[in-house]
Chain A
């Protein structure tokens, strides 16, 4: 017999022998199977698509599936003929609008130059401002294509950071600069060595 069931019943404190008796008790209530009501057929005109038949594990008496469009994506139109073109078009104009809005805003709020005298508003240019370290901006550009940069950013730091973390333990201030790159244990480079303290020497042989 199904031992699990038996065990469960025993654990619940039921008497197994009493089961047949209980099943055959005189006035037990009986469930009637539901009567087969004929489904009201949808008006054909309203039906969209063919309903799916029940899969095998669903009894037939269960209600039929609703019309497919209620749970499956409905194609309301054909795919655009040249989707790519439009996306590119949109992306381009969006980008351009954003850029233009941004630069115009900055130009309006800051100092400007103009290519045509007395027509400051026609093609406003943000005025050029000298920078004490002009090369920094030029060599470390903030490019607009951040997406690609992000993708790329992944591999590089991991490769380099492993190297970089080890450097800086020992030396004094030189280390701040050197520490990043190298492992002083492994590399014998005079620039990585610590600064020595002054010794007392007789004062300069030469010019002193």
Chain B
């Protein structure tokens, strides 16, 4: 039974996150295999109606220091790096309710990237050069995982920081021994 066939739903608007390739080795036992990946339901299949900028979408507004945000329980800020982008961003995982939401926000943040839903894969594509990026994250155990493996809430709980990795480099992630990208960057969390 291929994982993909189990998870493709009947509705056109349902999308799943998952990767072709092997099941990862379960470390904690609570991380799910591909047969149980989360289904995503899109509210609209077109881009959301353009809304006036609400406070959740404006960078640096309201002007609250980040250490204040993380203290009140319902905020969780993580750094997001994109390979090739000159600077890091921060994103509040708590204000998003799903992977789709998160990817939309990331697409907004790194404005040269657009969401591209190809088969069952969730990627961001640089419209200028066609380069594909996959969202990855470092979890509490220090492992680098593909975004979308675990239920949303669990992801929010365990995500320490994120990286939009070039597709070509992401091969092998999610396999038995997740490779850690170089930590030689000048910024660290």
Do A and B come together as binding partners?
no
Which of A's residues lie within 8 Å of B, judged by CB? none
